[in-house]
Amino acid sequence: MVKIENLIKNYGDFRLDVSMEILEGRVTGIVGKNGAGKSTIIKAILGLIRPDGGKVTIGGKDIAQLTVADKEKMGVALSDSGFSSYLSAEDIIRILRKMYRFFDESFFRAYCSQQRLPMNKPLKDFSTGMKAKIRVLTAISHRADLLIMDEPTAGLDVEARNDILDLLREYLSKNDNGSILLTSHISTDLEGLCDDIYLINDGRVILHEDTDAILGRYGILKVDGKAYDSLDKSYIIGTKKTAFGYTCFTNEKQFYLENYPGIVIENGSIDDLILMMTGD
């Protein structure tokens, strides 16, 4: 669906240099600290910035060669952009009718009614959660094959976040071959939705793994100094000194469960992945 090959973008001292793929029928997440390069990747895919090197293709076509019909197959929701704050939901409907041949107006209206989104008030009078719902609703309401979501749940309370995630799940239930690229700071959003995760740090991919593997195979070891010295470190991918000894991050939790029954071993998470592998 989307292929990024040695994408390079320079901003002063920052350099993005990544390769990655978003496969058909998959939900792919990008995680990393602020400034890691997540939004730069999204903007490069959308052609909003000019790369300094590399190649981005969607459906086998270079992004510069995409036709209007190709772009209609994409749905986009960016956290830092959207419709004018003086437009209403009714105004947005009129715009989408003209933009997309397959705009599903009945679905759009039904969701607004279900979520009690006012149709004639300007967006500036909407809450943060209501604005986020309109952004995502707009992205999925024209039968897009590829959704690109940059921090769709940023700044939302738990209820609004769950509403957004349910909307994305509804999209997936109706589009067996649909794909989503999603960035988020909220690990539970990614754990419950993504098939695979890319961890970005300082402009580079430092890990790509299936979400199930992260949650099932990865783990945290907590050991004192003596246990650490005798530990087989073949499957340790991150270590942090602590007051009691060491915290170690492993990608083979079962190995340590079987061979070191006396040490504390906890399940890993995406938050652990970020913290241990980015040096925090």
Residue pLDDT, tens place only, 190-243:
888 999 999 999 999 988 999 998 888 999 999 999 999 999 999 998 888 888
Helix (H) or strand (E) holding 53: strand 53-58
From 206, 208, 209, 244, select the one nearest 227 (Cα to Cα). 244
Question: Which residue has tokens 């052609």?
Answer: 47
What would the pLDDT profile of 14-69 be if each residue is shown by its tens digit? Answer: 999 999 999 999 999 998 888 888 989 999 999 889 999 999 999 899 998 999 89
Query: In angstroms, what CA-CA distances link 111 with 72, 115, 172, 182, 190?
Result: 21, 6, 16, 22, 23
How far from chain centre, in Å, is Cα 185? 8
Average pLDDT over the chain, rounded to whole? Answer: 90
Q: Is 186 in contact with 274 (CB distance < 8 Å)?
A: no
Answer whether CATH 3.40.50.12780 is correct for domain 2-212. no
CA angle, 17 as apex, 234 and 132 as ends, to 5°?
100
Question: What is the sign of the dihedral through the CA atoms of 253, 219, 246 and 35?
Answer: positive
The pLDDT confidence band at residue 280, using thresholds 50, 70 and 90, is low
The CA distance from 115 to 91, in Å, is 18
Name the residue ranges covered by the structural domains of the chain. Answer: 2-212, 218-277
80 token code pair:
């830092």
Q: Is 182 in contact with 164 (CB distance < 8 Å)?
A: no
What does pTM read for this prediction?
A: 0.87
Helix (H) or strand (E) holding 140: helix 128-140
User: Can you give the pLDDT at residue 33?
Assistant: 83
Question: Which residue has tokens 């986009």?
Answer: 76
263 token code pair:
């040490």
What would the pLDDT profile of 90-139 be if each residue is shown by its tens digit? Answer: 999 999 999 999 999 999 999 999 999 999 999 999 999 999 999 999 99
Helix (H) or strand (E) holding 196: strand 196-201
From 274, 277, 201, 275, select the one nearest 14 (Cα to Cα). 201
